[in-house]
């Protein structure tokens, strides 16, 4: 069988479909694992804590009373950003660790 100038006669379409379904199942499992995971990032020695889901959504933000003492708004904002970034980087690391395990995605 020739399609667009390519000879497809040597391709086992059943095996190709089975591999695609397997990869799809692995991807769904990884997505579910990420959705059920949460990651906590901190800044300022724990003065600010941010929790994100495995998909990167901000789930919680905790600012200790000590973080408010003698801290201006700009510094507090920087701590919040740093805590969220820390948690998001952890989620991204997990995403990257799950994706290479899936053959055929080329990631």
**Concatenated DSSP letters for 1-13?**
-EETTEE-TT--H
In the chain, where the domains are located: 37-101
CB 86 within 8 A of CB 50: yes
So what's the pLDDT on residue 35? 80
More confident residue, 42 or 33: 42
Name the pTM for this structure: 0.70
So what's the pLDDT on residue 32? 83
Of 9, 27, 14, 31, the C-alpha closest to 102 is 27
So what's the pLDDT on residue 65? 96
Task: Write out the H or E segment, with its range, that includes residue 60.
Answer: strand 58-63
Q: Encode pLDDT of 37-63 as tens digits.
A: 999 999 999 999 999 998 889 999 999
Looking at domain 37-101, its CATH class is alpha beta
Residue that the structure tokens 């300022």 belong to: 44
């Amino acid at each position: 069988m020739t399609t667009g100038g390519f000879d497809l006669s040597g391709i086992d379409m059943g095996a190709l479909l089975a591999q695609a379904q397997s990869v799809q199942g692995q991807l769904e499992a990884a997505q579910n694992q990420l959705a059920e995971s949460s990651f906590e990032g901190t800044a300022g020695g724990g003065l600010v804590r941010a929790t994100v889901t495995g998909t990167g959504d901000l789930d919680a933000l905790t600012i200790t009373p000590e973080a408010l003492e003698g801290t201006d708004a700009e510094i507090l904002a920087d701590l919040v950003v740093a805590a969220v970034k820390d948690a998001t980087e952890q989620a991204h690391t997990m995403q990257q660790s799950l994706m290479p395990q899936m053959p055929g995605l080329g990631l």
